[in-house]
Every structure is written in structure tokens, then in C-alpha cells.
Amino acid sequence: MTSKTSLWLALALGATLGGMTPTHAATTGAQATSDDPYLWLEATHAPRAMDWVKAQNTITEKAFASSPEFTHTYDQVLQVLDSDARIPYVERMGDFLYNFWKDKTHPRGVWRRTTLAEYRKAEPKWDVLLDVDALNKAEGKRWVFKGAQCLKPAYTRCLISLSPDGGDAVQVREFDTATRAFVKGGFELPVAKTQVGWIDQNHLYVGTDFGPGSMTKSSYPRIAKEWTRGTPLSSAVTIYEGKPTDLAVGAYHDRTPGFERDFITVAKDFFHTENFLRKGNQQVKLDIPSDASFDAHRQWLLVQTRSPWTVGGTTWPSGALLVTKFDDFMAGKRHFTALFEPDAHTALSSYAWTRHHLILDVLNDVKSRLDVLTPQDTGAWPSKALPGAPSFSTVSVVDTDPDHSDEYWLSVTGFLTPSSLERGVLGKHQAETIKHEPAFFDAAKFDVSQHFVTSKDGTRVPYFEIAPKDIKLDGSNRTLLYGYGGFEVSLLPFYSGSIGRAWLERGGVYVIANIRGGGEYGPRWHQAALKANRPKAYQDFAAVAEDLVKRGVTSAKHLGAEGGSNGGLLMGNMLTEYPQLFGAIACEVPLLDMKRYTHLSAGASWIAEYGNPDDPKQWAFIKTFSPYQNVKLGENYPPVLFYTTTSDDRVGPAQARKMAAKMEGMGYKKVWFYENTEGGHGAGADNKQSAHMHAMVYDFLWNELK
């Protein structure tokens, strides 16, 4: 789920729950209601709820984070996260390469920059612009850096986003890179889920919490305004006002010289957006499907379809990338040229502009391929493949310089191939490796393979397996199966020193399931598991689990599952619908109560994915995949660890809290819960918190799958 205040229900109910069976967790003391006796846990910071959290944390820490084995796992993971040999990934802005870096000395991180010549060195000299740890010490805060937007072409004025706890709500402050200080009297916005961007040095587009009624039901900005320097925020001029039921409203300015344009975006839901070209006080709606995405770049208009689109006498398939001249399109012409059309095995993952070319990132059965296209005024654009990468790898464009050059930066990574960062200039020289991550584990001991399994309805589903070369297919291998399956997010090959050290080197097998709901095969793969079809994603995951057993890789008692966010909902359904397939489950920052998810945090923004539970007809199918409603007494559920964070203002901690409390109230003994106070919808606000979470999960799974 993408980022972007939270709606919390303070429901402390006041007596003890009659008939609760005490387990390893503290009893809740809630008064039963006809529908949900655990609503009081939705009050995120209420003393009663936090007391319950603290008691749970103490028990879980004692069980899985107090042994010498945990300390070893934690140290191994933290060494990876804090390693000075990691690649400092950069973003070009003008003459400098910018990077944000966290390590042992700077747990909250430093925002810094250097030159290309310096970056090529083994140990570059960095110019530190903002030390977040020093800022926190000076202000007595615990800020978490959430990014910077700098005004081109000079890039001296930047809008810095800082979260007080790692959540999506941020404070925005104007920063001067020349003086390395925040601008006194400059642009500043209080903590909120804010959308902000430069128009010029004296004007911003801003959407934020302007007061009651200014945010959507999804907790994002409903109103876009233009704000002038030196004036109070209250005087900002409204340029568009959406509906409370919209997901979010925003505006942005394209500063490309000679092609300056202003756009307003009105997200109706997660997959449908209305787009407007702003001309003075006029707003001209772009005549493209609301479920398509668009990109106006110089003279070109790109449209990426998510459903078949008939335009100009041609019907284009979903997942196609089309191009036309922007001015021609706005004048009413509708002739498009296809730059990419998918087939049964391929999908467009992403694309990136350079000054004179367009780079396409294409997935072929979940493996990467890069193609370089050269724009032509008429007809097809010539295409040429960029050099390939190792088998079962992911090659992606991480940065370009579309205003000035054909420079491109590539990330190359694979399950057993430490990541590298390459730089090239199209038409001048091929990519060369600039940085290379060290090997954090001995990859020579392992093999990577891709397998396909037939799901319940006959669909062919791929999965990747990383296993010891000498694996015995006797069903005894502790195996961890990871999945997500939602929001058109693709799970691609990647290198993880943490997984290598904490799981593979112990002798474990690691598996990634490319189930429906994701984007591995484009929009069709995602749409196959929307709303009433959501259970197909779970059937796919179950089919992979069964195939691992059938092939002798593992057995149910040795097979664990892990997933977070939408993947946490996947885990909840594995727990309640397929408990016989797993020996343990790690369920992280999850959705679980699908009856109330739209009333918690940013939940209303995901109705297009899951459906609206407040509509009885839709609840009829949603309830079939709502773990909180489907957990039952007397079942043989595998051990489960629920992990969440107090500061998660996207999904929120309430769902994991309630699920753990409900299962414990039913008498289930092996139900564990842990809640970090910081980190937002992620693993932690710093490397130590992230290492603690990862180590706890891996040790829990390893112990339970023995």
C-alpha cells in the first residue's frame, strides 16, 4: 500500500471479559459487546491499550528475544544494516549526487551529497547537509527523515519532510543547501499527511490538514491550494476541492524548460484518477481512462492502460504503453503508437526517461529485461536491448537525468548476487559498475530455481526457491514461504544479507510466491484477485505450499509463512483457512478485521482493492477473507506471531492487537504479539529497531519449525 490523521476510535469499555481463559498474554479486561469485545484496542495511545501492549511485548521478548541465539541473529542482521560497505544509492540533482545514510554512528541518518568524481572513489568525501541525530538532540525530538524535494535547476531550496515517529504524517520545512540550515521564516507545515511541491521559489502547491473537513475519509488531502511565500497558510488560494469520498487531491508543476505545465490529480480510489491540465483559472480534463496512468514529458504524452481502451479506431489491451504528441492530444487528435504490448509471459514493470531516450523495464516470467526506445515524430520508436544480467536477477533503473543528459543508473540484484550500482550514458558508453555490495553470506552453497504450480482454478503460478545445493528432498527442511499478492506489486529477485545470514546459512530454504493480486504479469494478474476474487490469491499461495511438500522440499510442520501489510492479510487467511499447511506464521503490520478496515487509519483508500464492508452485498464476499471474523474455537492453528507498530498511521496497530487478543481469549496458547512504538508502516525507525524485528521473526519461525 502506498503512503499518504488517522481515524482512531477511542472505545474503552470497562469491565472484565467473562469466561476468558488466561494464556501467556495478559487478560484484557474488556466488557463483551455483541459484535466485538476488543474495540477498546483501537484507541491507539489510550493508557489501557498501551498497558496491554507493554504486557504482550514483555512476554514475547522473553520468549524470542532474550536468548544467546537471538543475540547472535540480531548481531548478524545489524551488521548487514549498519555495514559501511553497503551501496550508498544516489539521486542526481544538478551537479551533485544526493544520498540518505543510516549507520551505527548515525542511527537516524544524514542527508548528504558528493560529486560524481568523488563518488567513484572507494571512500568518497561527503558533504553533510542535514544530520538528523544532531537535529533531534538540538530539538529534543525523535524525527525520522522522510525525503526532500528540491527546486530545480539550482536545487538550493528544498522541502524536507520529517516524521515524528516514522509514520506517514510529516512536518515539512524549507531548507537551504547553501547555508545547510532551515530557512528562517520559510515555508513550514505542521505534522499532517501532506502533499506539497514547488511551483517556483515563492510559490507551492499544497494539500494538508487545513482544519475540519479538509481531509478525505481515507485521511489524505481533499483540497489543493497555491501558497505564496510570506503569507500565512490560511491565505493559500484553493485551486481544487474534492469530495470527502475521494481518496486524495493533489497538484504539481512541471518545470521542464519550454514545457512548463501544471496538473491537478483527483484520485477517486486506489486505481482510478481524474487528471486536469491547469491553465490559469481553467481546468481541462485529460480524456484518458480513469484507471490508466499518464506521463507528460516534453512534447510527449504517455498513457499506460489498466483495461482495454478503444481510441482512434484501435482497441489497445490492458498493460500497454502508448504515446502521442501532448499538444495534438489536447487539440483532439487520438492517434497513438504502441511502445509496449504485453503477452502471456511479459509485463511492463516501469519506464524511465533520459534526455533523448525512454528505457522500458520489462518482466518476462518475473525476470528483468531492459529496452531502450528512441522517440520518433511518426511511426514506431526504434528499440534496442540493454545488456542483460545474471539469471534470476532484477535490473532496474534507479535514476536518470532527463533534463540534461542520457545518463542512467542501474541497480542489478539477485537472490545470490550481491547488488551492484552501474552508471552509463546512452549512445556514449555502456554501463560500468560504480559500486558493489559485499557478499554477506556464502552464496556458493545455494541454488536458485523457478517453479510453476497449477492453482485451484487451473492458473499457472510461478515461485522462486533458494535452497542448499545438497538439499535432501525428504520433507525435513525448514522452509520460509513469503508472499504479498496485492495492489499490483511485483515480488522480484533481490539480494538480502539479512535473509542469507538469518535463514539460509542456518540451512533453511527461502521461497517467494508470485501469486495473483501482484503485478508480475501486469494488470490482468492483479485484477484476477480483486474484491470477490481475492481468495484466488490465497488459493495460489496454498498451491505453492502444497507443491513444496509434494516435491519433498519440506512438510507442513517445517513450513513457515511470512507477509506484511496486505501480505499480513494473506497470512491471516493462511492461518484461518489453510492452517493444516503450515507449522508457523509471522503476520506483520497486517489488515485482519475486514469488517472495520475502512474505519481505521487509511483503510477507506483500499475499497477498490477489497470492496466496501459497509455495503451488505459486498460484505457477503469480504467476510469470506476476513480473518478476524473467521477465527474459530477449537481449531488446530499453527503458532503465530503478530508484529505491528504504534506509529503505523496507514494500516494501524489495532487489527493485529485485536486478532491476538481474540485468539488468546479463545484459549490459543501459541499466539504471540509484539508492537514497536516507532517505525510507521515499516520495520523500525532505525537499524537497531529493524534488526530487532527481523531477528525476532526469524528466531520465532526457526524455533517453531524444528
The residue ranges of every structural domain in the chain are 39-78+440-704, 291-341, 343-439
The single-letter DSSP state of residue 474 is S
Share of the chain above pLDDT 90, in %: 92
Looking at the DSSP bridge assignments, the partners of residue 311 are 314
- Could you tell me the end-to-end alpha-carbon distance of the chain, in angstroms, rounded to an integer? 33
Band of residue 388 on the pLDDT scale cut at 50, 70, 90: low
In whole angstroms, what is the distance from residue 278 CA to residue 251 CA? 9
pTM for the whole structure = 0.92
Is 10's pLDDT higher than 90?
Answer: no
The helix (run of H) or strand (run of E) holding residue 630 is: helix 627-630
In whole angstroms, what is the distance from residue 36 CA to residue 662 CA? 9
Q: In this structure, how many other beta carbons lie within 10 angstroms of the beta carbon of residue 532? A: 15
In whole angstroms, what is the distance from residue 635 CA to residue 637 CA? 6
- What value does the CA radius of gyration of the chain take, rounded to a whole number of Å? 25
* Nearest by Cα to 351 from 320, 310, 389, 392: 320
Q: What is the pLDDT of residues 262-289, one digit of tens each?
A: 999 999 999 999 999 999 889 999 999 9
In whole angstroms, what is the distance from residue 305 CA to residue 350 CA? 13
Residue 247, all three cell numbers: 481518496
Q: 615 near 609, Cβ under 8 Å?
A: no
Q: What is the pLDDT of residues 391-429, one digit of tens each?
A: 788 999 999 999 999 999 999 999 999 999 999 999 998
Band of residue 35 on the pLDDT scale cut at 50, 70, 90: confident
The helix (run of H) or strand (run of E) holding residue 633 is: none
Amino acid found at 92: R
Active-site residue, from 565, 605, 626, 690: 565
Q: In this structure, how many other beta carbons lie within 10 angstroms of the beta carbon of residue 615? A: 11
Is 624's pLDDT higher than 50?
Answer: yes
Is 26's pLDDT higher than 50?
Answer: no
Is 617's pLDDT higher than 60?
Answer: yes
Quote the pLDDT of residue 22: 27
Band of residue 341 on the pLDDT scale cut at 50, 70, 90: very high
Q: Specify whether 681 is catalytic.
A: yes
In whole angstroms, what is the distance from residue 498 CA to residue 502 CA? 6
Q: What is the pLDDT of residues 571-615, one digit of tens each?
A: 999 999 999 999 999 999 999 999 999 999 999 999 999 999 999
Band of residue 33 on the pLDDT scale cut at 50, 70, 90: very low
Amino acid found at 501: R
Cα→Cα distances 396→322, 476, 589, Å: 21, 36, 27
Amino acid found at 116: L
Residue 683, all three cell numbers: 520495520
Average pLDDT score over the chain: 93
Which residue matches cell numbers 483508500?
605
In whole angstroms, what is the distance from residue 241 CA to residue 238 CA? 7
Kindly state the average pLDDT of the residues 119-141.
98
Query: Which are the contacts of 207, defined by CB distance < 8 A and separation ≥ 6?
Result: 194, 195, 196, 220, 221, 222, 223, 224, 225, 248, 249, 250, 251
Residue 701, all three cell numbers: 519461525
- Measured N-to-C along each axis, helices 566-577 and 535-550 cross at an angle, to the nearest 10 degrees, of 60
Q: What is the pLDDT of residues 166-208, one digit of tens each?
A: 999 999 999 999 999 999 999 999 999 999 999 999 999 999 9
Kindly state the average pLDDT of the residues 151-174.
97
Band of residue 389 on the pLDDT scale cut at 50, 70, 90: low
Is 11's pLDDT higher than 80?
Answer: no
Q: Specify whether 356 is catalytic.
A: no
Active-site residue, from 106, 357, 526, 681: 681
Quote the pLDDT of residue 1: 35
In whole angstroms, what is the distance from residue 644 CA to residue 654 CA? 9
Quote the pLDDT of residue 337: 97
Residue 657, all three cell numbers: 492487537
Looking at the DSSP bridge assignments, the partners of residue 503 are none
Which segment of 25-34, 518-527, 614-623 scores lowest on mean pLDDT?
A: 25-34
In whole angstroms, what is the distance from residue 506 CA to residue 706 CA? 12
CATH class given for the domain over 39-78+440-704: alpha beta
Q: 250 near 264, Cβ under 8 Å?
A: yes
